[in-house]
């Protein structure tokens, strides 16, 4: 029973609050406070409120460190800024967004080694922040400090990202329907040598396909640039602090990657514990394998519908 409770907790942590907007750690001298989550009840609501409070405090501290770096008031301001950028990445990964939902949902429905959870989390974090670097670079070259903020130009990026997540989820569902998601894990090994070689070749091909699937899903989940990293880089660019901005963006990526990796590993280990208590090849094992595709489809489809319904606010 406790494993069912843990499963529900992980799914609860992965619940999407798609319309919540990220707080800006900069702007106009005053720091924009992190938005309070809507009162929706639920036993995880106090946890969400605490995450918002921590994110708000980190936003303010990061803003203060950047101002100190600009004024040259504190030699340790850069290192403090990197630390707060790392913390921002941690709370950004825990806050509203689809990255953690994709990681948790995928690994709850897919048998994998913990190293794959780390790899997928790394791809999401890297693509999330590299996208911010590219956006800021293009904005600087093309817009030349125009009044239009790069963070307002995300609509089509969101549509492509969410559509890709939905498509990958549908492919995962197709594999589940055809029985390819678990067929390679339930063979007996008392057959001829040639049969064993054929099985090994199929397992190897399946492993490569699974890694490609994980990488594609991670890039799709991280395709929308991190607005926090964009704002850090814009502030750094406007004040001649390019290296400091890049260092802080890297710290944000590291904080996000570490948090998502821990969530991915927890999902993998939880799935293993649940699988050990289910009969091999039985109904419940099959149902557990279905959770991943359904959750990824729900994440991608839900966010795509919201993005298309309100492009002005996306």
Domain ranges of the chain: 99-185+202-309
Helix (H) or strand (E) holding 268: helix 242-276
Contact yes or no for 101/16 (Cβ under 8 A) = yes
Q: Residue 262 is encoded by which pair of tokens?
A: 């821990």
How far is 45 from 51, CA to CA, in rounded Å? 10
Lowest mean pLDDT among 40-49, 120-129, 190-199, 267-276: 190-199
Lowest mean pLDDT among 5-19, 177-191, 194-208: 5-19
In tens, the pLDDT along 69-103 reads 777 766 677 888 888 889 888 888 887 666 788 88
Burial of 3 (0-12, 13-18, 19+ CB in 10 A): middle
Q: Residue 248 is encoded by which pair of tokens?
A: 């802080």
Contact yes or no for 160/284 (Cβ under 8 A) = no
Concatenated DSSP letters for 30-88?
Answer: SPPPPPPPP----TTHHHHHHHHHHHHHHHHHHHHHHHHHHHT--TTHHHHHHHHHHHH
pLDDT at residue 223, as a whole number: 73
Sign of CA dihedral 17, 136, 54, 8: positive
Is the pTM of the predicted complex or chain greater than 0.75?
no
Q: Residue 74 is encoded by which pair of tokens?
A: 């504190």
Helix (H) or strand (E) holding 166: helix 155-178
Higher pLDDT, 313 or 97: 97
């Amino acid at each position: 029973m406790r494993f069912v409770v843990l499963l529900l907790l992980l799914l609860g942590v992965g619940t999407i609050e798609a319309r919540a907007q990220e707080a800006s750690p900069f702007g106009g001298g005053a720091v924009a406070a992190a938005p309070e989550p809507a009162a929706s009840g639920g036993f995880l609501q106090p946890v969400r409120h605490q995450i918002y409070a921590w994110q708000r405090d980190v936003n303010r501290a990061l803003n203060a460190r950047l101002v100190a770096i600009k004024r040259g008031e504190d030699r340790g301001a850069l290192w403090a800024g990197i630390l707060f950028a790392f913390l921002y990445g941690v709370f950004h990964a825990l806050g509203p967004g689809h990255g953690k939902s994709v990681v948790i949902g995928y690994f709850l429905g897919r048998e994998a080694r913990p190293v794959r959870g780390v790899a997928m989390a790394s791809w999401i974090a890297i693509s999330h922040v590299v996208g911010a670097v590219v956006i800021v670079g293009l904005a600087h070259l093309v817009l030349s400090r125009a009044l239009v903020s790069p963070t307002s130009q995300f609509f089509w990026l969101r549509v492509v990202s969410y559509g890709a997540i939905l498509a990958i989820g549908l492919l995962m569902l197709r594999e589940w329907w055809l029985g390819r998601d678990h067929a390679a894990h339930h063979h007996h090994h008392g057959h001829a040598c040639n049969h064993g070689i054929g099985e090994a070749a199929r397992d190897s091909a399946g492993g490569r396909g699974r890694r490609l699937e994980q990488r594609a899903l991670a890039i799709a989940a991280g395709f929308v640039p991190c607005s926090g990293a964009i704002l850090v880089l814009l502030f750094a660019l406007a004040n001649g602090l390019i290296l400091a901005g890049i260092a802080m963006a890297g710290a944000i990526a590291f904080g996000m990657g570490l948090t998502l990796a821990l969530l991915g590993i927890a999902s993998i280990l939880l799935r293993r514990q649940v699988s050990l208590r289910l009969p091999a090849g039985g109904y419940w094992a099959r149902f557990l394998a279905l959770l991943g595709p359904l959750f990824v489809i729900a994440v991608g489809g839900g966010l795509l519908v919201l993005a298309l319904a309100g492009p002005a606010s996306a």
